[in-house]
Amino acid sequence: MSIPLEISFHGLEKSEAAEARIRDKFNRLHQHFDRITHARVVIETPRRHTPAAKVFQVKIEIGLPGQKPLIVRHDPPADQTRTDIAIAIRDAFAAAQRRLDDIAARIKHPAKRERARRRPARVEAAQE
């Protein structure tokens, strides 16, 4: 089954190499967590940048059944003036995988989730 993957570029030219890298990273992510229903990846450059200082922001939105969409946003550090688009994609997908691992753990172990939600029983002080 093919999962819909939407890739958008804002503020920069469309890159076949970047698209291929995103598709590869998404396929690996889908093999790791197969309950993904759809995904949207947006790569953009901030509005206030000079041609010499190129940084990339990557936003990944992943649809999961029965849950709100998982949104992962990778923003470069404020002091960084240049970054490679491949590194920005790698970091964003690594963050997405960590978040999906957390979700998978909650799905697989609902008892732990239930215990964490319970409140401790109150102990009434003995009245004399």
Question: Domain span at residue 77?
Answer: 5-117
**Structural domain includes residue 102:** yes
Q: Is the pLDDT of residue 113 over 70?
A: no
Total number of domains constituting the chain? 1
Question: What CATH number does residue 16 fall under?
Answer: 3.30.160.100
Give SS3 for 55. Answer: coil
Q: For residues 30 and 4, give the distance between their C-alpha atoms in angstroms, rounded to a whole number.
A: 11
Lowest-confidence region among 10-14, 79-83, 120-124: 120-124
pLDDT at 117: 59
pLDDT band with cut points at 50, 70 and 90 for residue 125: low
CA angle 12, 52, 24 (to 5 degrees): 40
Quote the tokens at residue 120. 């401790």
Residue by residue, DSSP assigns 64-117 as: -TTSPPEEEEE---TT-----HHHHHHHHHHHHHHHHHHHHHHHH-HHHHHHHH
Residue 3 has pLDDT above 80, yes or no: no
Asked if residue 128 is part of any domain, the answer here is no
Q: Is 125 within a domain?
A: no
pLDDT for 76: 78
Beta bridge partners of 42: 8, 59
* pLDDT, greater one: 74 or 81: 74
Q: Would you say residue 1 has pLDDT above 60?
A: no
105 assigned to some structural domain: yes
Residue 75 lies in a domain: yes
Whether 55 is in a domain gets the answer: yes
What is the average per-residue pLDDT within 75-87?
78
124 in a domain, yes or no?
no
Q: Is the pLDDT of residue 16 over 80?
A: yes
Specify if 127 maps to a domain: no
Place of tokens 């995988």: 97
